[in-house]
Amino acid sequence: MRTRCITILGRISLLIAASALALGSAELLLRHRFKDTPYTPGEQILLLQSWLQSDPKVGFLWKSDVDYEDGIRIGWADQELELATLSTDSDGFLNHPHAIANREKGLPMQIVALGDSFMQGTAYPYTEYFGKRRLTYYNLAVQRQCPPQYNLILETYALPLRPRLILYGVFFNDFEEILDFFEWQRSGLDWFTYHSGTWCGPPINGRYALKGWRRQMRGLYMGYRALRALLPMTRRSNAKNDQAYPSSLSQLCRCVLEARDFCAENNINFLLLLIPSKQSVLKGDPLEERAYTDILSFCQENRIPALHLRGHFVRHNDPAQLYNQVDAHWNIAGMLHTVTALEPFLPDPTPGPEPKLSPH
């Protein structure tokens, strides 16, 4: 028996030693591969970075007055080309050329969108769809932003557009990004410097900076990040979002309430859109649903108009066709499917003939 125990302990010791050797070798190889760089942005991130400008209030916006005809492609993975061509107004918001032209003519923008990349993606198809119904549409959403930024944009840029309806899109990663935004504000740095040189990189300090075991084992950590980047983009979030949800729920709800109150004070209708992730629609996501249920309860208590889109997507005969196959965002079909759920909230159309859309 004693001999057997010694043999088992010996094998365990050998296994531990072999594992340590393997991990140590992998760490050295990966550390050399990534040259100790804590953050290496991908090609697509750098491409977008070249078309962004720093903003002291909201962090960053697109460069202004980028012409659609220049054909600058900024889309992700299998996103439709129509959605991947950059066209911006004088303030730095991505918009359909026709919407920009209408704004320059001084026409009111009856429906205005706030949110992140999901809402920003609606700029082209919604402008055309609503235009055919004699409704003007304008985008003030920006990728990688969150409710405190939406509210700053609402107060600074929305009022001059004279909207009748604000569409306020919330996505599950807003919980994490709220915490990041407030830490950026406290840093005193510009957005890009704080986020490791890009619009979406990890912060250089704060609770989510590269530190602890990630800094000590940075080779393995960067190898893990590189592997994740190669996998299909079907995940709803990561552990940071899971941790951020309970701690930033009250902040998110406060932002929604402030936005609704601001709209009410200025005689603007308000609608909160809870945008379901691809993961949630196709496979279910209990944490996302719990978070959205909490938000809906808050909205009901405070009489805030809100629309959870998951049920609308799930009832589609093939929900997978409403999202890109590789990229996790909804596609044009998904955006136009969403419009049918918005019907009860839309303002009355402007009298007159159907407007002519500028070609693009």
pTM, rounded to two decimals = 0.81
DSSP 8-state secondary structure symbol assigned to residue 88: B
DSSP letters of 145-204? --HHHHHHHIIIIIGGG--SEEEEEE-TTHHHHHHHHHHHHHH-S-HHHHTTTSSSSPPS
The tens digit of pLDDT for each residue in 263-315 reads 999 999 999 999 999 999 999 999 999 999 999 999 999 999 999 999 999 99
Q: Determine the angle formed by the axes of helices 239-265 and 286-301, rounding to 10 degrees.
A: 20
- Lowest average pLDDT, out of 55-69, 111-125, 207-221, goes to 207-221
Lowest mean pLDDT among 55-69, 209-223, 250-264, 335-349: 209-223
Return d(Cα 82, Cα 245) in angstroms, integer.
33
Query: 223-267 pLDDT, tens per residue?
Result: 665 565 455 544 444 445 556 778 899 999 999 999 999 999 999
The mean pLDDT value for 104-122 works out to 96
Q: Measuring CA to CA, which residue among 138, 128, 113 is closest to residue 355?
A: 128
- Cβ(51)–Cβ(63) below 8 Å: yes
CB neighbours of residue 303 within 10 Å: 7
**CA–CA gap between residue 15 and residue 183 (Å, rounded):** 43
Q: Which residue has better confidence, 199 or 217?
A: 199
Report how far apart, in Å, the C-alpha atoms of 152 and of each of 40, 147, 159 are.
30, 9, 11
* Domains in the chain, CATH or no CATH each: 43-204+236-345 (3.40.50.1110)
